[in-house]
């Protein structure tokens, strides 16, 4: 995601229509072959499975600071006490621009996104 590129998720038919309209207007667009729609309401269907899969995972303090694209701010990794953060990370809108702007404002210039 950025000023010249965006990822959209949602219903397959609506996305096909969006891609067709973009292409018809000279905008480069394509679909990504995935079987889930991250950052959309579809993730709500697997919330319980995510919780179960992450049950028993215990967070540890990170040695490298983490600037979250979920919160758009520095993240205290000791607060990752359950799968809730990771569910919200998969369900909610990615705040990539806010995170990047926040880091730039602090003088950072090299970014690594971990997915």
Would you place residue 1 in the very low, low, confident or very high pLDDT band (cuts 50, 70, 90)?
low
Average pLDDT, the chain: 86
* CATH T-level assignment (fold) for domain 12-105: Malonyl-Coenzyme A Acyl Carrier Protein; domain 2 (3.40.366)
Calpha distance 49→89 (Å, rounded) = 15
Q: What is the pTM of this model?
A: 0.71
DSSP strands (E only) in 1-115: 66-68, 73-75
Q: What is the DSSP letter of 28?
A: -
Give residue 108's pLDDT.
94
**Per-residue pLDDT tens for 74-115?**
988 877 766 788 889 889 988 888 999 999 999 999 887 776
């Amino acid at each position: 995601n950025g000023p010249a590129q965006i990822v959209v998720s949602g219903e397959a038919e609506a996305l096909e229509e969006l891609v067709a309209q973009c292409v018809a207007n000279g905008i480069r667009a394509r679909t990504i072959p995935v079987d889930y729609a991250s950052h959309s309401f579809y993730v709500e269907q697997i919330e319980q499975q995510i919780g179960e899969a992450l049950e028993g995972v215990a967070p540890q303090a990170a040695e490298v600071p983490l600037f979250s694209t979920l919160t758009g701010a520095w993240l205290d990794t000791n607060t990752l006490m359950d799968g809730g953060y990771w569910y919200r990370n998969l369900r909610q809108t990615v705040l990539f621009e806010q995170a990047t702007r926040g880091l730039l404002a602090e003088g950072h210039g090299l970014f690594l996104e971990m997915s």
